[in-house]
Copies of this chain bind each other. A is one copy, B any other.
Amino acid sequence: MAVSPALRTAEVIAVGSELLGTTRIDTNSLYVTEQLSAIGIEVRSKTVVGDDRQSIADLCRQALQRADVVVLTGGLGPTDDDLTRDAVADVVRRPLVEQPAIVERLAARFARRGMSMPEINRRQAELIEGAVLLENPHGTAPGQYLEQDGRTIVLLPGPPRELKPMFAAFCEHVLGSRAGAHRIYRTSLFVTGRSESHVDEAVQPHYAAWRREPLPIETTILATPGQIELHLSLRSDDAAAAALRLREASATLARVLGPDVFSTDGRSMEEIVGALLRARGWRIAAAESCTGGLMLSRLTDVAGSSDYVVGGAVLYSNELKTSIGLVPPELIRAHGAVSEPVAVAMADGIRQQTGAEVAVGITGIAGPGGGTELKPVGTVAVAVVAGDGPARVRTFSLPGGRTQVKFNASQGALDMVRRALGG
C-alpha cells in the first residue's frame, strides 16, 4: 500500500433504525470522537441512518467524498436487517467473502456455551474483499476495515462494550501511525455557585484572546446539572508545549473565577469532597429532608467512600425530624420545618447520633406543591458543621422542577462542605 498523507478528518455513521426513534440515542460517536481526537483526527459530521441498504450506501459514498476516515457503527449482527457489510461492499464494488477461520471461531464461541452456531451467524464471517479483520472478544460480530482510494473505512459493532476495546486498539495500532504528529490535548474546569452567563462574562475576554493566538485554544462552556463546565482543547505536535499552555490557561481561569472552581482535573463534586475528608481523616453524616437521601447516595457513589461516610437519616416527616433527628419540636413550630435554625438542629442532631466530624442538615421545598409566598418552591436551607468550627448555614433559592431542585440542593450542600474543609 502506498504511503498516504496524514489523516485529518473523519465522519461517523451510526446504523440502526432503533436510533431514529424517540427512546434511544447514538452515544458510540462520543467514544469514537474521543479516540479520534486523541490522535489528532477531527470528526466533521455524524449521521444516524436506519437499517436500509441503499441509504447506508448513499451516506457512506457521500462521506468518502469529504473525509479521510469513515467510521460506521452497528448493523453487523447476524439478522436480515444487519446491512452495513452489504452496503459498504456496494460502495466499494467488491464482493463479500466468507472466511472459514472466522466461521470456525464463531462456532467455537457457541460451543463453549454448549450451543451449536445458528446458520444465520455465518453472515458475520463475511469480510469485504481486501478488508482486514478486527477481532471481537466480547461478542459475535467481528469488525473490519479497508482502504479505498486513499480513504479508510471502518465497520464496528454497535454494542458499546464490543465497540470500545475494538476501536481503541484500531486507533492505537492502525490509525495512530498514519495520523501525523498532531494530537488534541484537553483540560477542563468545573464551576459551581454561578450562573452560566456570569461565568461566560468572566471568561470571554480570555477565550477571545486565546482563539487568536498562534497556538489557538478551542473553548466551550457547558451548563450541566449543578455545575458549569469549561472545556479547553489544543491541537499541537508538541506534547510538552501543549500541556504547559493548557496549565497556564487553566490557572488563569481558576484565578478569574476564584473558589467557585471546584475541580480542575475532571473529578466530580462527590469525589472532591471525599478526597478532602480522606485527607483530614474525618467522617461525614447527614440529615436530609427535601433531598430524600440524594446527597448521601452521591457521596457513596465513590469507590472506597465507606472509609469516610458514616451514614445518616432521611427525615422526610416532621415526626422523624424530632425522633431520629433530635430537632426540638418547638423549633419547628417557631420557624417552620424549612428554616435555617431547623437545618442547624438537624446537622447538630445527626452529629450527636453518629459522632461524625462533619455533619450536614438539609431542609427545603422541592415542589411542585408545598410552596408559600414567603418560602416558594426551591427554598432550601442547608447547615454544615465541621470539626470545632461554627455552623455554616445558607438558604438557597433554586430554580427548576422537583428533581432539579433536589440535585442542586445536594450540590449546594456538598459545595458548602467543600468550602468548610478548605477545598
Q: Give residues in A with beta carbon < 8 Å to B.
A: 18, 20-25, 27, 30, 33-34, 37, 43-50, 55, 59, 62, 220, 222, 229, 231, 286, 288-297, 299-301, 303-306, 309-317, 319-320, 323-324, 353-355, 366-370, 402-403, 406
- Chain A binding surface, main DSSP class: mixed
- Report yes or no: B45 in contact with A33, Cβ–Cβ below 8 A: no
**A137 to B177 CA separation, bound complex (whole angstroms):** 52
**A300 to B406 CA separation, bound complex (whole angstroms):** 9
- Report yes or no: A317 in contact with B313, Cβ–Cβ below 8 A: no
> Given A22-B30, A50-B45, A292–B299 Cβ distance below 8 Å?
yes
Count identical subunits in the complex: 2
> Given A33-B20, A44-B55, A311–B301 Cβ distance below 8 Å?
no
In angstroms, how far is the closest chain B Cβ from the Cβ of A407? Answer: 10
A290 cross-chain contacts in B, Cβ below 8 A: 300
A55 cross-chain contacts in B, Cβ below 8 A: 44-45
- Report yes or no: B304 in contact with A222, Cβ–Cβ below 8 A: no
- Report yes or no: B59 in contact with A45, Cβ–Cβ below 8 A: yes
In angstroms, how far is the closest chain B Cβ from the Cβ of A208? Answer: 11
In angstroms, how far is the closest chain B Cβ from the Cβ of A241? Answer: 22
In angstroms, how far is the closest chain B Cβ from the Cβ of A292? Answer: 3
> Given A33-B20, A293-B296, A296-B292, A309–B301 Cβ distance below 8 Å?
no
| Chain B residue with the shortest CB-CB distance to A290 | B300
Contact of A293 among B293, B305, B355, B403 (CB under 8 A): B293
- Report yes or no: B314 in contact with A293, Cβ–Cβ below 8 A: yes
- Report yes or no: A33 in contact with B22, Cβ–Cβ below 8 A: yes
